[in-house]
A = this chain, B = another copy of it.
C-alpha cells in the first residue's frame, strides 16, 4: 500500500492526460473539453487529491493566507468582545475559499511594524485586515512601501488606497443620547476611548454632535485608553466635578462596567441616581446588576465582510467599499429618568 500522498502527476496519469490539463481544470481555466474535465475530476476524487497549496504558492506567488495583526495589550484585548467575533466572521469567509488566517498579537508599535515587514518579506500573507485604525496611521505608508494589499475595517481619515468595510458607530451613539435626553437627562457626561484610534475619536465626536442637536453641552468629557481601569478613573474624576452628571455615556462596555462599580462604591445608585450606557454589546453586560444598556454592532458580520472584500481585492485588483448596518442601541436596565427632572 502506497502511503505517499498523490500528486498532480498521479492524477494526470490516471486520467490519461498531462499535468497541465489537470491544473487547468483545478484552476477553472477555459479550454478543457467537458468529458476530459469529468475524467480528470473523477481521477482526482478517486485518488483523494487536492492541489498542494505550498507548491501552488511557489508557482503563483500567492500565500492563500490573510493576515491580522492586532496591536493591543492582552488585558485590554481580553476585555473586548469585538475580536473573537470578528475573527470568527473572518474564518467563515476564509474556509470556503481554502484560505487561512495568520494571526499576530503584538505589544507595541515596533513589533507591529516588524510583523508587517516580516509577513510581507516572507510572503506569508497575500493581504491584511486593518483594524483599530488610527489617526495619521503609519500602517498606510508602511503597507504601500511593502506592496501589501489591505482592507480597512472602519473608515480611515485619509483618502484611501484601500477598500473600506465600514460599520457606523455614530448612529448608535446618537440613539443613546436621544434615549437619555428623551428620558429627561440634561446633565450628561462622556467617558471616551483612545482618541488616537479613529473609532475612539469618532464616538466622541458623535456624542458631542448628538448632544448639540438637543442644544446641550456635556457636563464632562474624559478621554481614556479604553481600559476598565481608565474608565473607573474617569468616573472618579467626573464625580469630583462641579456639576454632577445624571447620565454617563461610555465608549466601551468594559469601561461602563468599571464605571458602574465606581458609582456603586460611592453610593450612587444606577439607574436611580445616574444612568449609564455602554458600547460594544459585551455579553456580560446583560448579566450585570443593573443590566447594561449598550450600543451593539455585529462584529461577526463585519469580519466576514472584511475578509470577503479583501479576497475580492486580491482576485480582481479592486473592490468596492461596503457599508454595513449601523450599530444599534440595546435597552436594558441601566438607564432611567434622572432623579430630579427639570421643569
Q: Taking the complex as formed, is A134 at the interface, i.e. its CB lies under 8 A from any CB of chain B? A: no
> Knowing A54-B58, A103-B101, A122-B50 touch, does A282 contact B91 (C-beta < 8 A)?
no
Separation of A91 and B65 alpha carbons in the complex (Å): 17
Contact residues of A between 238 and 277, Cβ < 8 Å to B: 254, 257-258, 260-262, 264-265
> Knowing A106-B91, A229-B287 touch, does A300 contact B74 (C-beta < 8 A)?
yes
Interface centre among A88, A107, A265 (most CB of B within 10 A): A88
Question: Which residues of B lie under 8 Å from residue A212 when comparing CB positions?
Answer: none
Q: Taking the complex as formed, is A27 at the interface, i.e. its CB lies under 8 A from any CB of chain B? A: no
Which of A18-26, A28-36, A77-85 lies at the interface? A77-85
Q: Quick one: CB contact mask for A98-134 with B, threshold 8 Å, 1 for yes?
A: 1011111111000100010011011110000000000
A107 vs chain B, min Cβ distance (A):
7
Q: Taking the complex as formed, is A289 at the interface, i.e. its CB lies under 8 A from any CB of chain B? A: yes
Question: Which residues of B lie under 8 Å from residue A103 when comparing CB positions?
Answer: 87, 101-103
Q: Is the CB of A287 within 8 A of B228?
A: yes
Q: Quick one: CB contact mask for A63-83 with B, threshold 8 Å, 1 for yes?
A: 101000000001111111111
Candidates B82, B85, B283; contact of A228 at CB < 8 Å: B283
Q: Taking the complex as formed, is A55 at the interface, i.e. its CB lies under 8 A from any CB of chain B? A: yes
Q: Is the CB of A88 within 8 A of B102?
A: no
Q: Is the CB of A288 within 8 A of B105?
A: no
Q: Is the CB of B122 within 8 A of A53?
A: yes
Nearest-neighbor residue (CB-CB) of A106 within chain B: B91
Question: Which residues of B lie under 8 Å from residue A262 when comparing CB positions?
Answer: 289
Candidates B54, B82, B115, B284; contact of A254 at CB < 8 Å: B284
Q: Is the CB of B104 within 8 A of A284?
A: no
Q: Is the CB of B58 within 8 A of A257?
A: no
Q: Is the CB of B123 within 8 A of A52?
A: yes
Interface centre among A74, A91, A107 (most CB of B within 10 A): A74
Nearest-neighbor residue (CB-CB) of A262 within chain B: B289
Q: Is the CB of B300 within 8 A of A284?
A: no
Q: Quick one: CB contact mask for A162-183 with B, threshold 8 Å, 1 for yes?
A: 0000000000000000000000
Closest 8 pairs (CB-CB, A-B):
A258-B287, A261-B289, A78-B81, A103-B103, A77-B84, A74-B85, A264-B289, A88-B105
- New A-B pairs, 18, CB < 8 Å, besides A78-B83, A102-B103, A262-B289: A50-B121, A52-B122, A54-B54, A54-B63, A77-B88, A78-B80, A78-B82, A78-B85, A78-B283, A95-B111, A101-B103, A227-B283, A228-B283, A229-B287, A231-B287, A254-B287, A257-B284, A258-B287
